[in-house]
Amino acid sequence: MPGRNEGTDRFCPVCSGPLGLGDSGPDSLVDALQASESRFRAAFADAGIGMALIGSDDRIIEANPAFAAMIGREAPNLVRTHIHEIIDPEDTPRRLYLELLRGERDRLRVEKKLKHREGHAVWSNVTISLIRDGAGHPMYTLAMVEDVTEQRLLGDQLAYQAMHDPLTRLPNRTLFFERLNALFGPGQLAEATEAPDAADAADAPVPDPVDPVGPGELDSSARPDGPDRLPQLTELAGQGKRVGLCYVDLDGFAAINETLGHHVGDELLVAVAARLEHGFARGDGRLVARLGGDEFAVLVCDSDGSEQLTSLAAELIKMLEEPFDVAGQQLVVTASVGVVERRIVETTPTDLLKDADATLYWSKADGRARWTLYDPDRGAHQLTRQRLATALRPALERGEFTVEYQPLVGLADGTVHGAEALVRWRHPRYGTLSPDRFIPLAEESGAIVPLGKWVLEESCRQAKRWLLEFPDAETFVSVNLAARQIWDSDVVADVAQALKLTGLPARLLQLEITESAVLGPGGRPVQALQALADMGIRIAIDDFGTGYSNLAYLSRLPVHVLKLDGSFIEGFRDPAPGGRPDSRFRRTDADEQIVGAMVQLAHALGLTVTAEGIENASQAERLRLTGCDTAQGWYFARPGEAERIAAILREGRVRSA
């Protein structure tokens, strides 16, 4: 292509007017030049690419038809047109162009936005070459212009698609993180190197404390040398700036999807997105994004405090409560929101999102349809919960668990009938942990399956020892089974194996299952129950009375024992005071009647009854009068080592009730 060639004398003939060329030299040279000129003219005129010669006065000397067509004009009319009528003057390329004109560079490639005559923009790649005269002095420039509008629009389109959710058209997770990271930016001091999500920070050099301020704003003589000056710097850097995040999740969205179909679910999401965007997106300051599924986020880039965020969350919840018209029906949804608000310097994008996620989870756990503001204390607790959960399995392998036993005492004669096995975690750092601290975590993580299996074996082994030492006592062991053990593992096989391994007769094993675990996820009683009962094992319903089951229904299942929850017995605590009919007395009286009726009904249905949480003699006595069979509680004995049970068995009775 001619323009690529910078040999000037070959191109001078191109220009018709201002150049006094070819005034000397042999005819053959003139001929050659003329031939060259006509070749170039033809190429110039017919080129598919836009071309223009531009003089040093920034006016067009000549433009070809392709260039003229690109901007909706006629080539002849472009002669003497100032280039600023066609392009936007921009600083940097202009500076480079002037360098080119001065001969300091020979070529320049820029992307330029040209003005079409009808007003719209034409994106172009422009290559500008300097044309020099015979003596090497700059004369004018040749611009070759390629229309890249379509590529550019396509690129924009792709960029848009990469950053937006196709269903709701809201900014997606990628854009959300891009904006969030930009807030923290390379100016983030200490965090910049720590935040794994801050993409820019990863490649950035060690952050210079002066960078966030920019040159000129900080007197360099005031630049601190020691790290102890940093806090002041962060203030200078305007890093009192705050950020807020509302992390939104619709309640029960999965059910809508399942019952009404995905198309209804999708339409609902679109409607929710529209409401959120309309209500809360504001220019650069706020971003409403869809983070996935039915999760949305409102990012407040310039928060002025947690109150702003919590009232935003409240407003948001209220806004979503209004019914939605979707697919010809009215749908009512609620949302749970986790709110985090803090100073930017005190956090990282990762922590912000992690805490928002935890807070959203609290909203769900506390009953949904609400917002919850992040609470660092609760968060710290969460941390240890998480640590404990991951430590469970290794702890089991290291043998950090033990089982304590608490006697189950016959109320009629005060003898020990059996003992409940209660697991403990002897944690090397936190001391002895009660099961309430880690059993729920073990259930969540699935670690309950190996842990429960271990407890089962350990307890059976212990009961077998009691049997060997006291062959006539027939002391049984009562082991708690978690719902997940029954639903998710082959509990029947595990129990059979434990009995076989330890040699304990099945009749000396009782399994405690809560009401909710007896009925599986589908609301039907779990099959394992019958299989276990058929093996000759006794099944007890633990914490009875805290659920909703129907006693008559339970009695039709292979269940043998009801363990009344401790809360029933609480009212039994004080002896009825001297016949004085105060409210306390009346309540005690009512509790006694309820328990009495329950015991009678259970007996009529063929169940035996155990009461939990007996703490004093009067409770024990009152309970005995109701006809309750066995009892368990601190009054008789606290949970303790297996040897305590043996000692009581040796004595014959724990305490006369």
Cα–Cα nearest to 466, from 481, 478, 451, 449: 478
User: Where are any strands of DSSP class E within 396-436?
Assistant: 401-410, 416-427, 431-433
Instruction: From the list ligand C2E, Mg ion, none, pick the one residue 613 interacts with, judged by a Cβ distance below 5 to 8 Å according to partner type.
Output: ligand C2E
Is the Cβ–Cβ distance between 608 and 560 less than 8 Å? yes
Output the DSSP codes for 210-240.
Answer: TTTT-TTTS-GGG---SGGGHHHHHHHTTTT
Q: Which two tokens stand for residue 39?
A: 């070749």
Instruction: From the list ligand C2E, Mg ion, none, pick the one residue 61 interacts with, judged by a Cβ distance below 5 to 8 Å according to partner type.
Output: none
What lies within 8 Å, CB to CB, of 299 at 6+ separation is: 176, 179, 180, 243, 244, 245, 286, 287, 288, 289
Binding mask 478-517 for Mg ion (x = CB under 5 A): --x-------------------------------x-----
Q: Which is nearer to ligand C2E, 21 or 539 (CB)?
A: 539
Compute the Cα dihedral for 617, 620, 623, 624 and give only its sign: negative
Binding mask 583-612 for ligand C2E (x = CB under 6 A): -----------------------------x
Q: Per rule CB under 5 A, is residue 543 in the interface with Mg ion?
A: yes
Instruction: From the list ligand C2E, Mg ion, none, pick the one residue 234 interacts with, judged by a Cβ distance below 5 to 8 Å according to partner type.
Output: none
Instruction: From the list ligand C2E, Mg ion, none, pick the one residue 27 interacts with, judged by a Cβ distance below 5 to 8 Å according to partner type.
Output: none
Sheet architecture: strand order including 295-303: 286-292, 295-303, 242-250, 335-343, 371-373
What lies within 8 Å, CB to CB, of 272 at 6+ separation is: 168, 250, 294, 296, 320, 324, 333
Q: Per rule CB under 6 A, is residue 477 in the interface with ligand C2E?
A: no
What part of residues 194-233 is at the interface with Mg ion (CB under 5 A)?
none
Q: Which is nearer to ligand C2E, 171 or 613 (CB)?
A: 613
Segment interacting with ligand C2E (CB under 6 A) among 6-14, 70-78, 600-608, 630-638:
630-638
What part of residues 595-624 is at the interface with Mg ion (CB under 5 A)?
612
Segment interacting with ligand C2E (CB under 6 A) among 167-175, 359-367, 626-634, 642-650:
626-634
What lies within 8 Å, CB to CB, of 529 at 6+ separation is: 486, 513, 518, 539, 557, 558, 559
Q: Which is nearer to Mg ion, 278 or 638 (CB)?
A: 638
Neighbours of 402 (CB within 10 A): 15
Q: Which is nearer to ligand C2E, 172 or 478 (CB)?
A: 478
Q: Which is nearer to Mg ion, 141 or 632 (CB)?
A: 632
Largest CA-CA distance found in the chain, in angstroms, rounded: 141
What are the C-alpha distances in Å from 326 to residues 26, 258, 259, 260, 261?
87, 15, 14, 11, 12
CB 638, min distance to ligand C2E, A: 7
- Binding ligand C2E (rule: CB under 6 A), the pick from 455, 509, 561, 654 is 455
Q: Per rule CB under 6 A, is residue 452 in the interface with ligand C2E?
A: yes
Q: Per rule CB under 6 A, is residue 512 in the interface with ligand C2E?
A: yes
CB 619, min distance to ligand C2E, A: 9
103-142 exposure pattern, b = at least 16 Cβ within 10 A, e = fewer: eeeeebebebebbeeeeeebbbbbbbbbbbeeeeebbbbb
- Binding ligand C2E (rule: CB under 6 A), the pick from 53, 114, 356, 439 is 439
Q: Which is nearer to Mg ion, 336 or 480 (CB)?
A: 480
Q: Which is nearer to ligand C2E, 267 or 512 (CB)?
A: 512
Binding site for ligand C2E (CB under 6 A): 406, 422-423, 434-436, 439, 452, 455, 480-482, 512, 542-543, 566, 612-615, 632-634, 639
Q: Which residues bind Mg ion (CB under 5 A)?
A: 480, 512, 542-543, 612
